[in-house]
Amino acid sequence: MIRRRQKYIIKYAALGGIATAVADVFLQWNELKSKGLDITWDNFDGKRTFKRGLIGGGIGAFYGYKSYIDKLDYEARFPFNGDEYLRRLLAKENITSDPMLLKTCLKYKYFLKDWLANKFNKDLAGTPEDAGSFFKYTAIKSNFDFDIILPFKRTSYLSLQDMFYNVYDTINKELDEKAFISKQTKGIGITFERHGSPIHFDVIPGREISDYQMDKKLNLYVRPDWAWQKGSSFKTNVQLQKRITQNMPQVRKAIKLIKLYRDRNGLNIPSVLIEQCVCEALSQEMYKVSFSCMENFLNGMLHLSNRMRQEKFVDFINTNNNLLEKMPDYDKSHISEQLRRDIAKVENNPRYLEELFDL
């Protein structure tokens, strides 16, 4: 994770080191030329160039730090409002802020849903449905994909594994030339290219447990981590997934901000963990929703930090699923501490938000 200060220092150190080293090469060339000699590997003093490059890098790092301090001093002349800053970030990260991107994404989505519905029509318990962050309005423009639930009848396949691999083989056979197809843990990844930028979909096949039209409950196939292991099943409720952030615009904003914070700071936090922690944090039983976007953001971060110090966080959707189970203890401890440090710095000086996001 590299913050603004480190970026300034590294950038200027690199410039100073490279410029000094190149200058020394030319200087040695001139020195040798004045003696009537050509520069060769035998008479070139690489150690001298390296040492001078280090000195130039050190001087560059000093000026990088000074430039960073000068920028902070310049920014301090102007008033700063944390809520306004976060609202600007949200506006920039809103997918609708790029109409052409949105139009292209929707075109691919409609194509894919229609294709899936036609291809698997006789075996489906319902039409392919939107799911995931895009449907829940918690997606951010810089990092998003589309989830499509493909609900099959109970009688469609002999096993969940058969269902998963039949869907994968069908998609791979017929869409391989149009997109990159990959196996995910619970779904099939389909990535289209748009002017060099990827548009990613996860098609998640599931088999109804009872009556999908009534309860929206599905059994998913979970691929094993290693080839010699057996796959497993995972119960989910599509209806509950959709309801988790329904009619909660401020909660969705806090979720988006923490996702953006995660991505820009290189933290390994699953999106589902962020979503459920923020919903819990801003519930009536805890911190409640504030009119302040920054307060909601910080409260969500604090609760996420607290949750990561625990051994278990039960999934709202599937009570048999521990959302923390697959996270290494080191990651949980490191992320929890990082969240707490950043919360304290923002509370001490709201302008520190620029350090968290302006990377």
Where in the chain are all domains bearing CATH 1.10.1410?
247-357
237 bridge partner residues: 217
CB atoms within 10 A of CB 156: 18
Closest C-alpha to 352, from 5, 1, 91: 5
Confidence of residue 1 (pLDDT cuts 50, 70, 90): low
The enclosing H or E element of 155 equals none
pLDDT 10s digits, 156-192: 999 999 999 999 999 999 998 889 999 999 999 999 9
Closest C-alpha to 132, from 109, 104, 152, 157: 109
The enclosing H or E element of 148 equals strand 146-152
199 bridge partner residues: 192
How far apart CA 176 and CA 154 sit, in angstroms, is 28
Closest C-alpha to 203, from 191, 190, 194: 190
pLDDT attached to residue 359: 53
How far apart CA 274 and CA 258 sit, in angstroms, is 7
How far apart CA 190 and CA 199 sit, in angstroms, is 8
Residue written as token pair 């029509």: 121
Amino acid at 277: C
**What is the residue-averaged pLDDT of the chain?**
91
Mean pLDDT, residues 256-279 taken together: 94
Closest C-alpha to 66, from 2, 20, 18, 5: 5
More confidently predicted of 84 and 131: 84
More confidently predicted of 249 and 226: 249
pLDDT attached to residue 35: 87
Confidence of residue 247 (pLDDT cuts 50, 70, 90): confident
DSSP strands (E only) in 28-83: none
What six digits make up the tokens of 251? 């909660």
Concatenate the DSSP letters of all residues of 71-133 into one string.
HHHHHTTS---HHHHHHHHHHHH-GGGSHHHHHHHHHHHHHHHHHHHHHSGGGBSS--EEEHH
pLDDT 10s digits, 231-245: 888 999 988 887 888
More confidently predicted of 216 and 358: 216
The enclosing H or E element of 227 equals none
Residue 315 has pLDDT above 80, yes or no: yes
Confidence of residue 135 (pLDDT cuts 50, 70, 90): confident
Residue 280 has pLDDT above 80, yes or no: yes
| 151 φ/ψ sector (left φ>0, alpha ψ -120 to 50, else beta) | beta
pLDDT attached to residue 358: 76
How far apart CA 6 and CA 132 sit, in angstroms, is 35
pTM of the entire structure?
0.84
pLDDT 10s digits, 330-346: 999 999 999 999 999 99
Q: Are strands 217-222 and 197-208 parallel, antiparallel or unpaired?
A: antiparallel
pLDDT attached to residue 30: 92
pLDDT attached to residue 36: 87
pLDDT 10s digits, 50-91: 999 999 999 999 999 999 888 888 888 888 999 999 999 999
Specify the fold of 247-357: Poly(a)-polymerase, middle domain (1.10.1410)
Superfamily per CATH, domain 95-243: Beta Polymerase, domain 2 (3.30.460.10)
pLDDT 10s digits, 86-109: 999 999 999 888 888 889 889 999
Where in the chain are all domains bearing CATH 3.30.460.10?
95-243
